[in-house]
Amino acid sequence: MSEKIDALLKLIEVPETNKSTPIKDSEARFIYEFVKEKKIGKTVETGCGYGKSAVSIMAATGKPHIVIDPFQRNYNYGGTENIKKAGFGALLNFQEDFSHTVLPLLASKNEKFDFVFIDGNHRFDGIFVDFYYTDFLLEQGGYFMFHDTWMHSTQLVISFIKKNRPDYKVIDSPLRNIFIFQKAGTDTRDGMYHRGFYTMKSWLTHHLIIWLTEGDETFLKKSVNKLKGLYTGIKPK
Ligand SMILES: C[S@@+](CC[C@H](N)C(=O)[O-])C[C@H]1O[C@@H](n2cnc3c(N)ncnc32)[C@H](O)[C@@H]1O
């Protein structure tokens, strides 16, 4: 089943200087298989980058897909070009604007989606706002995925949803850097409802990964990275 996506991934070009921007091939394959297996139809994503997630989603649905990104010019439109090269130009609905502008517009038109991929602004407030509008856009039973769950910001939004939104169900993800929720009920919180969601663990993992991926390769770093690879199978971006 993965041959189709593997062939498409080979067409995606990413400049040497930007190798850390795209999702990994294993993540692209997972998204493709997930979207296909769940028979997902209407899709939207925030953060185009070099178009890898968009290609994975469109390859799985064969249907129109909205991609929101205000900064494609900073990537020389490499993402939209890769999407066209993969043969999905006609299905692409590219919105060259901020997700905080486009998502509310979609919500105001009462548009509904089965799947949202969130990989745009990676600051806490940016991710939170993407989630906030995703909530209005998702069909009952629909899914959304966060990428870059190693980041403290993403972990805090995940923790907020787990603690404050019992109407969202956590779906097991085999990949450490992708987190999945399914809309599985209605929001019945009263106006005073609030559960604290700050986690120290996410702060620690964030800073540990930054320490492991940046700066000098010391003996200690090499050893910790080796252990991490052995025990978790995750490699930092
Ligand atoms: C890590 S890249 C996305 C990678 C992409 N999903 C892939 O599969 O390769 C993050 C992208 O988010 C975009 N971005 C940053 N702020 C944004 C915002 N407010 N709304 C939408 N996209 C945003 C950036 O321009 C960048 O292209």
Domain spans of the chain, in order of start: 3-183, 200-232
Q: How far is the CA of 193 from the centre of ligand 1 (A)?
A: 32
Instruction: Give the mean model confidence (pLDDT) for residues 41-70.
Output: 98
Q: How far is the CA of 191 from the centre of ligand 1 (A)?
A: 33
Residues 220, 165 contacting (CB under 8 angstroms): no
Q: Which fold has domain 3-183?
A: Rossmann fold (3.40.50)
Q: What angle do CA 103, 104, 108 make, to 5 degrees?
A: 120
Q: How far is the CA of 15 from the centre of ligand 1 (A)?
A: 16
Indicate which residue's Cα is closest to atom 2 of ligand 1.
49
What is the pLDDT, as a whole number, of residue 234? 46
What is the pLDDT, as a whole number, of residue 56? 98
- pLDDT at position 220 over 50: yes
What is the pLDDT, as a whole number, of residue 120? 98
Q: Collect all residues with Cβ–Cβ distance below 8 Å to 105 and sequence separation of at least 6.
A: none
Pocket flag, ligand 1, residue 77 (CB < 6 Å): no
Q: What percent of the chain has pLDDT over 90?
A: 83
- pLDDT at position 1 over 80: no
**Rounded CA separation 89/140 (Å):** 29
Q: How far is the CA of 195 from the centre of ligand 1 (A)?
A: 30
Rounded to a whole number of angstroms, the CA Rg of the chain reads 18
What is the pLDDT, as a whole number, of residue 229? 66
What is the pLDDT, as a whole number, of residue 233? 44
- SS3 label, residue 3: helix
Pocket flag, ligand 1, residue 47 (CB < 6 Å): yes
Mean pLDDT of the chain: 94
Least confident window among 144-153, 196-205, 208-217: 208-217
**Phi and psi of 73, rounded to 5°?**
-60, -30
- pLDDT at position 2 over 90: no
* Amino acid letter, residue 155: Q
What is the pLDDT, as a whole number, of residue 162? 98
Indicate which residue's Cα is closest to atom 5 of ligand 1.
49
Q: How far is the CA of 122 from the centre of ligand 1 (A)?
A: 8
Pocket flag, ligand 1, residue 148 (CB < 6 Å): no
Pocket flag, ligand 1, residue 121 (CB < 6 Å): yes
What is the pLDDT, as a whole number, of residue 236? 41
Residue 78: which pLDDT band, with cuts at 50, 70 and 90?
Answer: very high
3-state class percentages of the chain: helix first, strand second, coil last, to nearest 5: 50, 15, 35
Q: How far is the CA of 203 from the centre of ligand 1 (A)?
A: 22
What is the pLDDT, as a whole number, of residue 213? 85
What is the pLDDT, as a whole number, of residue 230? 58
Instruction: Give the mean model confidence (pLDDT) for residues 125-151.
Output: 98
Q: Please identify, by atom number, the ligand 1 atom nearest to the C-alpha of residue 100.
A: 19
- pLDDT at position 191 over 90: yes
